């Protein structure tokens, strides 16, 4: 199975700045719009390009999309600039005190929480994160159990059951109904309509942009000047001989 199987959203700043739009590198092209952000300053280099969120009102809206109501995985990289307040990194909450939708956030206790569509499916890590360090976070639901990983290591799990369907806009960097703006840098946000395996999550935790790197086109060299003429004469003779 490929890391692009079931991929319905991939917003990867490390692939390069794209001004006021954050491109979706999945096949769905559900591009995001930088909101309350300055492209000239919020695209930053930190071990590769990333987006910096101010902890106030910055977010990226990735528009309307009907996400799977069953198995899913959220994977992203974050470098908190500060901790001590709830910070929603990726969120699709639409209503209520807990909201309905998949979400991943840093708690005010510096633990990390993932939920899938309803508060009954929360899983909160025992491990914590700190300011100034890059972390790979992943939360998944396989139809029975919600799990949360930090840097490819399982950090918590809980058992749930059926889920509700959710349609609506998602945000990177805050929640649309619960606030909690991110104070820090985010890169490589991916949403899958399947539960990734532990091995796949470990692979994603090895680096930002894994499996989505842009490929260089092959460059063919052509001899210059007299050498080119001689090479072409030989080629032309060969073609003529074949045609005869």
- The pLDDT tens digits for 62-75 are 876 655 557 889 99
- Cα angle vertex 158, ends 152, 159, to 5°? 125
- Candidates 137, 132, 130, 148; CA nearest to 185 is 132
Mean residue pLDDT of the chain comes to 84
- Give the residue from 204, 194, 209 showing the smallest Cα distance to 49: 209
Query: 83-121, pLDDT tens digit by residue?
Result: 999 999 998 876 655 556 788 999 999 999 998 765 567
Residues 183-211 pLDDT 10s: 999 999 999 989 999 999 999 999 999 98
Domains of the chain, residue spans:
7-204
Write b or e for each residue in 6-18: b if 16 or more Cβ atoms lie within 10 A of its Cβ, otherwise e.
bbbbbbbbbbeee
H or E, element range at 7:
strand 7-11
SS3 58: coil
Select from 92, 11, 13 the least CA-distant residue to 50: 13
Identify each DSSP E strand in 37-134 by its residue range. Answer: 43-45, 49-54, 59-67, 72-80, 87-91, 102-106, 111-116, 123-128
In this structure, the number of other CB atoms found within 10 A of the CB of residue 136 comes to 23
CATH architecture of 7-204: Sandwich (2.60)
- CA gap 146, 114 in Å, rounded: 8
| Per-residue pLDDT at 220 exceeds 50 | no
Quote the pLDDT of residue 244. Answer: 45
What is the structure's pLDDT at 219? Answer: 44
């Amino acid at each position: 199975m490929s890391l692009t199987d079931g991929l319905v959203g991939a917003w990867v700043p490390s692939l390069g700045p794209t001004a006021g739009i954050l491109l979706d590198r999945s096949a769905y092209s559900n591009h995001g719009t930088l909101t309350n952000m300055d492209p000239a300053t919020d695209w930053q280099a930190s071990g590769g390009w990333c987006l910096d969120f101010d902890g106030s009102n910055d977010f990226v809206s990735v528009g309307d999309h009907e996400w799977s109501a069953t198995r899913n995985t959220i994977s992203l990289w974050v470098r908190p600039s500060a901790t001590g307040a709830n910070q929603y990194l990726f969120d699709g909450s639409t209503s209520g005190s807990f909201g309905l939708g998949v979400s991943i956030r840093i708690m005010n206790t510096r633990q990390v929480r993932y939920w899938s569509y309803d508060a009954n499916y929360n899983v909160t890590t025992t491990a914590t994160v700190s300011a100034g360090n890059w972390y790979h976070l992943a939360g998944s639901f396989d139809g029975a159990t919600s799990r949360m990983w930090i840097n490819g290591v399982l950090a918590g799990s809980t058992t749930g059951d059926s889920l509700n369907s959710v349609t609506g806009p998602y945000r990177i960097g805050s929640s649309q109904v619960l606030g909690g703006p991110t104070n820090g840098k985010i890169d490589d946000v991916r949403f899958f309509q399947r539960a990734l395996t532990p091995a796949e999550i470990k692979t994603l935790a090895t680096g930002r942009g894994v499996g989505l790197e842009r490929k260089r086109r092959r460059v063919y060299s052509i001899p210059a000047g007299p050498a080119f003429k001689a090479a072409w004469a030989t080629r032309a003779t060969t073609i003529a001989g074949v045609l005869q």
